[in-house]
Every structure is written in structure tokens, then in C-alpha cells.
Amino acid sequence: MVAAKIVPSDDPDWVEEVENEAKRLDELQALQGDAIPTKIFAGQLHGGKERLLITNYVDGRRVDEVMVTTEVASNARKVLGLIHSAGYLHGDVNARNILAKKSGDVVFVDFGKAKKGSENAYQREREDLEIALR
């Protein structure tokens, strides 16, 4: 199964987000398939009327829809740590963008706002995660 994000090409904000997401997933390739979705395809539809990003479908539930066990919380902190160690901020850490699998593994989705980070920004993002896990 796959997940497809389709946005109208005449909306510059959406286009920027989806293009940024495709680029960041490439840059975070080492984390793909485990901590973040695997990028399958980025391109256009209907003669360029829409932008398309296809990733693998993550079979998980948003952390605001499930009981956040200590294992899920710990895995979420690990994944965010991996993203930061790779030099990036996720950029939109909230419960809707954090999926927990039945196994307890955690996948962060939605890299539309991801960007290069700094230690202060990583710390703020770790605080965002604690709020998301409440």
C-alpha cells in the first residue's frame, strides 16, 4: 500500500511544502522505511495541474488516537533524535504527524516543513514532542 499527497500546482504554499517534503525525504534517506516513510515517487499529474508525492503507507495510528505507552514515547524520542542527528528539524512536531505501529515502533510523517536545524531549535522541538505525547 502507498500514501499519496496531491496538491494543486497553482497554490505556491502547497507546492513548496510538497517539494520540500520530497527533498527532505531524499536527504533523510538513511531513515526511510523505518523511522520515516519511504519516498516512492515525486512528480506531476494532469499535465502539471497537480503535484504528487507517493510514499509507503505506514500502518499505524496517530499518537492522539492511541494510548501512548512508555515504549511508544521512548521510540518517538529516539526517532526525533535520529532526525536531529541527521541535521534536520522535523518542523511540525504534533500528534497528527507521529504514527505508532502495533509493534510499538514509531514513524514520523509530514516533512513539508522540515529544514536544517540548530541545537536550540532541536531542544524546542523535543519540548513539542513531549506536549504531543501527553
CB 39 to Mg ion: min, Å? 16
30-68 per-residue burial string, b: 16 or more CB within 10 A, e: under 16:
ebbeebbbebeebeeeeeeebbbbbbeebebeebeeeeb
Give the chain's count of helices (H) and strands (E). 3, 8
Q: How far apart are CA 123 and CA 6, in angstroms?
A: 32
Cα-flanking dihedrals φ and ψ of residue 93, to 5°?
A: -80, 105
Of Mg ion, ligand ATP, none, which one does residue 57 interact with (CB within 5 to 8 Å by kind)? ligand ATP
Establish if 110 lies at the interface with Mg ion (CB under 5 A): yes
Establish if 75 lies at the interface with Mg ion (CB under 5 A): no
Establish if 97 lies at the interface with Mg ion (CB under 5 A): yes
- Residues forming contacts to ligand ATP in the complex (CB under 6 A) are 3, 37, 55, 57-58, 62, 96-97, 109-110, 112
CB 69 to ligand ATP: min, Å? 19
Of ligand ATP, Mg ion, none, which one does residue 41 interact with (CB within 5 to 8 Å by kind)? none
Q: Name the site residues for Mg ion (rule: CB under 5 A).
A: 97, 110
